[in-house]
Amino acid sequence: SLTLSVISGLSATERFAWVAAALATLPGSGIIYTLTVQEAERLANFLQSCGYNVPAYTGQMETADRLLIEQQLRSNQLKAVVATSALGMGYDKPDLGFCLHVGSPSTPVAYYQQIGRAGRALEHAEAILLPASSDERIWEYFATANVPNQDIADRTLDALSRQPLSVIDLEASTSIRRGRLEALLRILAVDDAVRKDGSKWVATGKPWIYDNRKWDALINARQQEATIMRNYAHGRGCLMAWLQQALSDPNPAPCGKCSVCSGRLPEPGLQVDPQLVQQAQQFLRGVDVPVEPRLQWPKGCSRRGKIQTDLSIRSVAFADDPGWTEELARFERSQDRSIPQELLDGAVQLLKRWKATWHQRPVAVIPAPAPAHDMVANRQLAQHIATVGKLPLLDCLTWNGPACPENLPSAPHVQHLERCIRLQPATQLPAGPILLCAATARTMWTLNVTAALLAESGTAGALALVLHRQP
């Protein structure tokens, strides 16, 4: 009963607008899948602003809340649910009228399992894919995230052979990031090279050798799956035949009714209402990204214990933010780190919304410290905000040393920042709160270290404005 379709070539905001337009004509109720929690929440919020009763459903929600949404969808109280893969195979609603994917899953088997939930008790149902340019970056991350590395495994086992260690202590002693450590420890535990004793990990003494054949075969299989999904997303042949091939059907054949075979696309096709696209963009650009500051200094740093600094952080955009896709791409391509005017305007609008929660307006603007190349953008942002807000600009922080290596764990990262960031001698700081400006930020450690340095020099708290929070 499924009719397969691919709607390709749409921008991020056009995909949001397409879904909003399509919900008016799609039959019955259905599921809209996204690849990330952030995207599920953004899309659900936008559709709700368009008047649809469409909640988000993710693995980060409480079990009771997920069960309630499942029941509401089952009883047709909802037009749709915007879900991550957390809405899994255990969910059963035979009369689902459609299944949309905003972004392509990395494997055709996962895609087939998800769209297979639609139309089991219906004569006709729609399975529609809206691929995104960012899909392959997400595929690449998940394809390699859990593949171990012999050198990292050796360093981990060497540290554990000397004494049992918690993950936090292991991170500090090996300079391996916590997420990667936790994934590696799970693999080593399965292979009986380590075991957990309370909160600490212990080496068993059993040697561990990287199994080239096993892991290379896994990577190769994932690459083959990605190739099939790439061909599917680009419409390079019958869509059903691609899925049949992925499922090892010995005789894949054209279905005669998918969008490639028939040449027909579900409404609204490739022509999305420009006003709805503009509405999607305005909505997404009005969504601020609160960022949680760090709460605890990592072990091995000059500062210890709980972070006492009063720091509040907001970001204009996060990751592949659909509201700012083109502007972020232009900024990343810029050789001179020039910030597009649209992003500068977006920063001003964010501050206007944010100020309702401030106890006191900032008394000065300071560009966050960074290596010379990145400092250009930080200064441009700070200068723009200072000019618009009629605030003094204090360019009083310096970066003395090399750029921080990527993917450092917290302890060596903070140690590097403590060596590099300096307040210029004889700087007179105002007593009120400071607004720090950073064009990009990932771990937030630079902002936390800077805010602590300023607080130790007499400022009363800090706000931090980030243009692009990177994942």
In the chain, the N- to C-terminal Cα span, in Å, equals 39
Question: Does residue 40 have a pLDDT over 90?
Answer: yes
* pLDDT of amino acid 52: 97
Q: What is the pLDDT of residues 336-394, one digit of tens each?
A: 999 999 999 999 999 999 999 999 999 999 999 999 999 999 999 999 999 999 999 99
Is 433 a domain residue?
Answer: yes
Q: Which of these three, 160, 180, 209, is where a domain ends?
A: 209
User: Do both 185 and 272 map to the same domain?
Assistant: no
Percent of the chain with pLDDT over 90: 76
Mean pLDDT (the chain, rounded): 93
**67 and 186 share a domain?**
no
User: 60 is in which domain, residue-wise?
Assistant: 2-139+218-285
Domain count, the chain: 3
Look at residues 267, 285, 303 and tell me which one is the last residue of a structural domain: 285
User: What is the per-residue pLDDT for 89?
Assistant: 74
Domain limit, last residue, from 160, 188, 209: 209
- If asked whether residues 262 and 354 sit together in one domain, one would say no
**Do 135 and 258 have their domain in common?**
yes
Same domain, 276 and 356: no
Please indicate, yes or no, whether residues 87 and 198 belong to a single structural domain of this protein. no
345 occurs within a structural domain: yes
| CB-based contacts of 352, cutoff 8 Å, min separation 6 | none
Residue 118 lies inside a defined structural domain of this protein: yes
Specify whether 19 is located in the same domain as 160. no
Q: Is residue 249 domain-resident?
A: yes
pLDDT at 61: 96
Q: Is residue 195 part of a domain?
A: yes
Q: Which residues pair with 200 in a beta bridge?
A: 197
Please report the sign of the dihedral spanned by the C-alpha atoms of residue 453, residue 454, residue 458, residue 464: negative
Question: For position 175, which CATH number holds?
Answer: 1.10.10.10
Q: What is the CATH number of the domain that holds 292?
A: 3.40.50
> Is 144 a domain residue?
no
Summarised one tens digit per residue, pLDDT across range 294-343 is 999 988 788 989 998 899 999 999 988 889 999 999 999 998 999 999 99
What's the average model confidence in pLDDT over 448-462?
Answer: 94
Whether residues 195 and 228 share a domain: the answer is no
Q: Are residues 196 and 78 in the same domain?
A: no
Best CA proximity match to 19, nearest among 42, 38, 1, 2: 42
Per-residue pLDDT band for 256 (boundaries 50, 70, 90) equals very high
Are 317 and 363 members of one domain?
A: yes
Task: Tell whether 295 and 425 lie within a shared domain.
Answer: yes
Say which residues have a Cβ less than 8 Å from residue 422's Cβ, sequence separation at least 6.
369, 397, 398, 399, 400
Pair 339, 447 in one domain: yes
Q: Is the pLDDT of residue 53 over 80?
A: yes
